[in-house]
Amino acid sequence: MVEPVPVSISFPTEEEKILKFWQDKDCFQECLKQSKNRPKYTFYDGPPFATGLPHYGHILAGTIKDIVTRFAHQSGFHVDRRFGWDCHGLPVEYEIDKTLGIKGPEDVAKMGIAEYNNQCRSIVMRYSSEWENSVRRMGRWIDFKNDYKTLYPWFMETVWWVFKQLYDKGLVYRGVKVMPFSTACNTPLSNFESHQNYKDVQDPSVIINFPLVESPEVSLIAWTTTPWTLPSNLALCVNAEFIYVKVKDNTTDKIYIMMEARLGALFKSESEYTLLDKFPGKTLKGKKYKPLFQYFAKCGETGAFQVVTDNYVKEEEGTGVVHQAPYFGADDYRVCTEYKIIQRDQAPICPVDASGCFTSEVTDFAGQYVKDADKNIIKWLKENGRLVNASNFKHSYPFCWRSDTPLIYKAVPSWFVRVEHMVDKLLENNGKCYWVPEFVGEKRFGNWLRDARDWAISRNRYWGTPIPIWVSDDYEEVVCVGSMAELEELTGVKVTDLHRESIDSLTIPSRCGKGTLRRITEVFDCWFESGSMPYAQVHYPFENRKEFEDTFPADFIAEGIDQTRGWFYTLLVLSTALFGKPPFKNVIVNGLVLASDGQKMSKRKKNYPDPGLIVQSYGADALRLYLINSPVVRAENLRFKEDGVRDVLKDVFLPWYNAYRFLVQNVQRLQMEDEIQFLYNENTAKQSDNIMDKWIQSFTQSLIQFFKAEMDAYRLYTVVPRLVKFVDMLTNWYVRTNRRRLKGESGTEDCLWALETLFSVLFSMCRLMAPFTPFITEMMYQNLRQLIDPASVDDKDISSIHYLMLPQVRESVIDKRIESAVSQMQSVIELGRVIRDRKTLPVKYPLKEVVVIYQDPEALKDIQSLEKYILEELNVRQLTLSTDKDKYGISLRAEPDHMVLGKRLKGAFKSVIGSIKELTNEQLEAFQKTGTIVVEGHELHEEDLRLMYTFNQSSDSAAQYEAHSDAQALVLLDVSPDQSMVDEGVAREVINRIQKLRKKGHLVPSDEITVYYRCQPEGEHLDSVIQAHTDFILATTKAPLLPFPVPKTGGVIIEEKTQLKGADLELVIVKGSSGPRVSLNGPACTYVNLRVKVNSKEQEGVVLLENPKGDNRLDVDKLQKVCSSIFGTNNTQLRFFNSGTELTSKTDLQALSGKTLSVTSGSSSPGPIPTADALLCPYVNLLLCDAQPAECQTGEVGTLLLVNPVGQNGLDYSGLLSEAAKVFGLRSRWLKLYLDQDLTQELPADSSVKSLDTKTLFVRVLPTTAES
């Protein structure tokens, strides 16, 4: 049976109930069971680290994944959804290093790798429960039990297999490469990692002189912002094609060589220097200069300390002379290798250790951290006459994305995967992927692929998957291992774990007489692991071979735009190298969620609200819809605003909930008043003749059609706005314009049509919205499904909305003509509302006429067909349609867009604007049709001009009508005053006050009431309006309206004094209609008889299932407690049976009213019970006459048992009074009991209580001294 829907709702509380429902029913697993034989839809979940808490970025990506996978399930696919965890790498090690105070490799060596990795292992899943709770609370369905972790040995084994494939294909090599290096984490980073965290910093900016060997008085001058690289200088580089100059500094008389285009870097004006010579850069090639430091002076013997040329030297910054430290810059390394200043296989000249400190070779600065050494190096340069200029320079510099410390560029021995050779294949495979939005794949990702460099996959760390390479001491013999079995075969040792502590000690005998092969110390970059997840998560190729190959590439992945240089990239590189195909078919890329001020969200700054508190306040559905209905789904950034989440509740959920509540309310009214049970059967539902029914049905089917097409194309950013707009169409147009039909005011048949229409639309909407807002749709569905005809349901399980498939499009119902007609009607109504607002004419006040002028006669016919809705919504008496605006003295004028035209026309702007204002009505009508017009030689378009309608001042219409228009329609409202209409408006104001007071008193339409009123001063305008419009007011309020006085016996619910049109209006709402009360037949409250057999003792009695009527309703748990109290069973666990069937916690007791239940304890079963269900105990009904119940009670009718259990606890007169007071929560008040509703026959104190059985007593509450 459908449950009543409360007026107010707490969405977060309802969501918690739904979570419990899903958990109790194991709904996610049930979904997977139901779909196991359907076609598979493959989804990869990118693994997050569990060392940090989930933030809005994770919630957003998780929501997108949840929506698409739910949609796929509802579209008829089987979708495995497994959660993955990234467990290795810098994030974990960095946390441990901070905690244990580890500064470098020496500290790890002291504690041992095994202990270090144990420490890492202990925090890997630190926040896993918070992650699981957050993901679950957001309504995301994903399997945590059947997860994958990158630390599982079977996952690591597949990573080894992937690497072995690359190695066997010749794609792996060892080299020295200048790479971004994190000194805090003691490891190189890949190029894409180094691009993740740029910051604006102030660095020292120095210009240094390098005297020429051939002319020591002449110096080349070079500029750098990294003075710490100067001790390693081996060359100077110039651009061969650019012009260089020899100049004398007029202040110091020193002679310098620099690029002509960069003179401004040292001199402010030409007067500060004298030009001595000018020549191309190539003339400097090969010239020797005096080294800065002597640390590596021997390198001069192999060609160091000379000038070289390369076109990477630009004229935009510095002096045009670039100092070369080949092991600290990628270009430096390339250029110095080309000039054979260094050899690829020589010992690197790299006097900086893994922690970023100078080694002992640099004697003056040994042990100093390089960035700290800058100031000491500058001091040395100054003291030794080599410093020309020193200042500060602000620029964007890369920081470590984990430790947030500056990166340096440093040459490190590294293992690489060749990528540069397969750029064309990467681009080809990327072209096979469908990117949403498209530009990310084409531009951002495509550009990154075009410049792809070989990928450094090794890290000099500990907690990670070890690179499975064993080498001889001279690196001449190399063995790559691809599985645990192969390792056992080669080493003779069986292993169950692949971390360093388990395998570093294992050796392989040389096959070439080179002694023993040992494993290299490096581990994989964790991006290599996450890029391997498609294969490793299923332990391919060791298991699940066919299953994987049948479902690869994945149908869908989704992550943030920052992953274009991360996970998206590594997935594509590995799948291209392994299989020559892309790893996924479809990808949605989201933008970043920023703080409300546009800054990055920061825990330290606390510049964003806690996601948990947002969900607690507004619910997960609201947060989901806010994030998804935003630019962030188009890969743009979103400034997170809490108000936006609140607005989802206000603008979407509450109107939608109210439409659902209104449906249920009227279904229950139909059942109660007309005794018609409403059941919806889509197969047998008749097509309604009502145009608004046809419109909303057509609009719904068009939406389903659009929804499926756009969701199939993964365009969430087009779907969600349409769904949100649909809520507005349903609530503000369909329900609003059909309220009377839905309430049954136009007959039962029409009411059923309207209810069936509203039900079918809400049901379709719940199914469409289920992937987006899984909670609210489940909540509504659990009640709505009670109204579905069981005959229309197949045998399948439909106990959750998420088990249902999406509704099929019923194309026969789509009627674009009706949709267009209603759209035109809406435009007319909205234009009319604007006019009313502009003239401050509330809709309550009727107006004589609305005139609609439209050039299209067909459109006018459509508007005519919807006349009654226009008249009702605008509250006008008459609709006039016309194609002739001249008849009403109206002409067009043009308003130019000053900003647009100002930018385009520049000097001609003023004269063109003047000419625009002179355009005639005929010219503008032509422009209206064609969309273009030429003014003073400039072609103008629709975006340049806004057309406005104006009245000719000589026209009579100017005073009578007010006009407003859009691109098609012109609406005129007759705003001239009319007394009868003003009076009707006042009567509508009275109706409004009554309805608001009703709402304040928490009354529902089915509550019987009478309204009493009094106007002061009497006989004035307000009083006469009410008297003249009593029937009109009654027709809307459905409650008798009577003048004061209020009868003494009237149970006052609520009263209010208010001001209206300069008069005082007093309104009092009294319980019951104004007619005489009918006596109650039988007990007022629901009840059950009980036959109790506990501990060999048999008793009989009654339990009231509510008291007063509608209050304190019992469930089975509460029934236990009440029985224990009445029958003295001392908290024995009781069992209740109805005709031999045991009651459960889910049994609806109200449905058992009037039945006799058996009560036993333990394992004993009830014996047969008599079939008579008459009330076992004598009773009286109570009716509260002149007061409100207290203590949170609302009912004014109750029942009192005079004896209970049978033959025990009989009441006397004083007991009657005190128990009656308790029923209505009036324990502290004096009461009197009467035998009649006029309160003239008081119950005598000496009355026989037994004689009152089945009677009704009327309860009067005596006033307190304060009240009297």
Distance CA 722, CA 720 (A): 5
Please tell me whether residue 486 adopts helix, strand or coil conformation: helix
Q: Which residues are catalytic?
A: 47, 86, 527, 563, 567, 600, 603
Distance CA 38, CA 739 (A): 43
Say which DSSP state 680 is in. B
DSSP E strand boundaries for 169-227 = 172-182, 187-188, 198-211, 218-224
- Contact at 8 Å (CB) between 368 and 168? no
Phi, psi of 466 (to 5 degrees): -65, 140
Q: Copy the structure tokens of residue 805.
A: 């498939």
DSSP character string of 555-584: EEEEEEGGGGGTHHHHHHHHHHHHHSS-SE
Output the CA angle 572-578-581, nearest 5 degrees. Answer: 55
Report how far residue 883's alpha carbon sits from residue 855's, in angstroms, rounded to the nearest whole number.
5
* Cβ-proximal residues to 1242 (8 Å cutoff; 6+ apart), any chain: 1232, 1233, 1234, 1235
Residue 491 tokens read as 């080493």
Question: What is the residue type of 1258?
Answer: F
* Whole-number Å distance between alpha carbons of 188 and 1009: 80
CA dist 1258 and 813 (Å) reads: 57
Query: How far is Cα 1219 from Cα 1240, in angstroms, rounded to an integer?
Result: 22
Q: What is the torsional sign of CA 833, 838, 842, 847?
A: negative
Query: What does the alpha-carbon distance between residue 336 and residue 346 come to, in Å, rounded to a whole number?
Result: 13
User: From CA 746, how far away is CA 597, in angstroms rounded?
Assistant: 54
- Alpha-helix runs per DSSP H in 580-679: 611-618, 620-628, 642-648, 654-673
Q: How many CB atoms lie within 10 A of CB 297?
A: 11
> Helical H runs in 49-112?
56-74, 90-100, 105-111
Question: Would you give the DSSP letter of residue 284?
Answer: G
Burial 919-952 (b: 16+ CB within 10 A, else e): beeeebeebbeeeebebeebebeeebbebebebe
Q: Residue 712 CB: number of other CB atoms within 10 A? A: 11
Spatial CB neighbours of 1083, under 8 Å, sequence gap ≥ 6: 1104, 1175, 1179, 1181, 1199
Phi first, then psi, for residue 23 (nearest 5°) are -70, -45
Residue 421 CB-half CA count within 13 A: 8
Across 229-303, the runs of DSSP E, i.e. the strands, are 235-238, 243-249, 255-259, 273-280
Phi-psi region of 279 (alpha: psi -120 to 50; beta: other; left: phi over 0): beta
Cβ atoms of 500 and 462 closer than 8 Å: yes
Distance from C-alpha of 745 to C-alpha of 747, rounded to nearest angstrom: 6
Sign of CA dihedral 428, 429, 430, 435: positive
Q: What is the DSSP string of 815-861?
A: -HHHHHHHHHHHHHHHHHHHHHHHTT--TTS-EEEEEEE-S-HHHHH
